[in-house]
């Protein structure tokens, strides 16, 4: 279906994925002004179920799942026993004794193997990734597109989740996303994904919905300063350096990596994730951030940002250099950079 729609396909984490259909800028702006549809079935899904499921989640994740009511979700991090962050995830509480964890595609197998170690007679850990597709409908028109198809799902609050049907297709719908816009994500069986994609596409046509690929997804999340694992997050980056320390609740001494995470919070972060603006060049991942001739950081993500009409980047920079004059090295040349407040873009409420 993607190829028939004109998608340019690329390899991504072992998956054959649409990077764009028309142009990244056109798809990006459509999501900001109307709506876009993303096939993100490459994401992994792990289910934790049984009477001990809540205890497993409380030990395995940094946010506090005990605060989750049935039908709600939370952003969290997956630490190892040394307090290193293995992934960032969304944890959905789909039942009193059932949780669904959405993990990043490149980490899906590793995350599952890590979580399997938490299994007990009272808690089963099941990898649902191979049987599950995921379609995201994002943008200010998303609710209006969904409402005639599934009014109860369209009425979900932010970070709520519920089972339902769209044109007879069983879905687990969540009001979550990765674009900085309002929107929904729909988990469904693989066999139902083509029908769900076609249904949402037809319903969204009067609202200006477009098919959008990985390229627009990346520029949208960059503008919203949403971290991407392997870029702004990783085993050598603490949550507080990455500006997601709020997702670490140190109220469970039996949480994996508790002592190390507590120490990392107490220690003053030696680096900080900052936003950078350049007027003449695009700062790409891996480019050096300079203070004079001294390297004080590194760009983690950077691109032209269509909503801003300029280039912007995220960078991990030494905390003591943030207020100083800094530059980015682009192809051997030094270009002045301006530290910008984050996020670069925030939707109107």
- The verdict on 302 and 288 lying in the same domain is yes
Question: pLDDT digit string (tens) for 286-329?
Answer: 999 999 999 999 999 999 999 999 999 999 999 988 887 999 99
Residue 269 confidence (pLDDT): 76
Question: pLDDT digit string (tens) for 65-87?
Answer: 999 999 999 999 999 999 999 99
- The verdict on 77 and 184 lying in the same domain is yes
Residue (of 61, 53, 102) closest to 239 by Cα position:
61
Q: Are 20 and 8 contacting, i.e. CB atoms less than 8 angstroms apart?
A: yes
Residue 323 confidence (pLDDT): 80
- Dihedral of alpha carbons 37, 154, 346, 87, sign: negative
Question: pLDDT digit string (tens) for 58-67?
Answer: 999 999 999 9
In a domain, 348, yes or no: no
Q: Are 273 and 316 contacting, i.e. CB atoms less than 8 angstroms apart?
A: yes
Question: Which residue range is the domain that position 66 belongs to?
Answer: 1-268
- The verdict on 37 and 137 lying in the same domain is yes
Q: Strand 124-127 vs strand 169-174: parallel, antiparallel, or unpaired?
A: unpaired
- Mean pLDDT computed over 185-202: 98
The total of structural domains in the chain comes to 2
Residue 266 confidence (pLDDT): 87
- The verdict on 241 and 313 lying in the same domain is no
In a domain, 347, yes or no: no
- Mean pLDDT computed over 174-191: 98
- Mean pLDDT computed over 167-183: 98
Which CATH number do you get for residue 302? Answer: 2.40.30.110
Q: How would residue 265 be classed by pLDDT, with cut points 50, 70 and 90?
A: very high
Residue 85: partners with Cβ closer than 8 Å, 6 or more residues away:
77, 78, 79, 233, 234, 235, 237, 238, 239
Which CATH number do you get for residue 147? Answer: 3.30.1360.120
Could you tell me the two tokens for 271? 């680096």
């Amino acid at each position: 279906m993607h190829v028939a729609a004109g998608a340019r396909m690329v390899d991504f984490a072992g998956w054959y994925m649409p990077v764009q259909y028309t142009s990244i800028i056109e798809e990006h702006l459509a999501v900001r002004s109307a709506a876009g549809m993303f096939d993100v079935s490459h994401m992994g899904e792990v289910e934790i179920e049984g009477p001990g499921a809540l205890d497993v989640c409380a030990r395995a994740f940094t946010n506090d799942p005990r605060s989750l009511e049935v039908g709600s979700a939370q952003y969290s991090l997956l630490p190892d026993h040394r307090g290193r962050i293995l992934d960032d995830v969304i944890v959905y509480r789909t039942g009193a004794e059932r949780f669904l964890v959405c993990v990043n595609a490149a980490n899906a197998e590793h995350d599952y193997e890590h979580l399997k170690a938490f299994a007990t007679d009272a808690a089963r850990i099941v990898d649902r990734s191979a049987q599950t597709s995921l379609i995201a409908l994002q943008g200010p028109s998303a609710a209006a597109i969904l409402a005639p198809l599934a009014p109860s799902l369209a009425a979900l609050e932010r970070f709520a989740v519920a089972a339902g049907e769209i044109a007879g297709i069983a879905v687990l719908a969540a009001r979550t996303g990765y674009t900085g816009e309002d929107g929904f994500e729909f988990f469904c069986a693989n066999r139902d994904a083509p029908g769900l994609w076609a249904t949402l596409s037809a319903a969204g046509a009067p609202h200006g919905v477009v098919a959008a690929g990985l390229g627009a997804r990346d520029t949208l999340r960059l503008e919203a300063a949403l971290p991407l694992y392997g870029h702004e997050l990783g085993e050598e980056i603490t949550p507080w350096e990455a500006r997601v320390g709020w997702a670490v609740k140190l109220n469970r001494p039996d949480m994996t990596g508790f002592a190390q995470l507590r120490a990392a919070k107490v220690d003053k972060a030696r680096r900080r994730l900052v936003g950078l603006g350049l007027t003449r060049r695009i700062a790409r991942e891996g480019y050096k951030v300079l203070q004079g001739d001294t390297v004080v950081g590194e760009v983690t993500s950077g691109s032209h940002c269509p909503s801003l009409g300029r280039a912007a980047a995220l960078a991990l920079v030494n905390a003591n250099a943030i207020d100083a004059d800094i530059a980015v090295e682009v192809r051997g040349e030094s270009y002045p950079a301006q530290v910008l407040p984050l996020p670069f873009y925030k939707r109107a409420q």
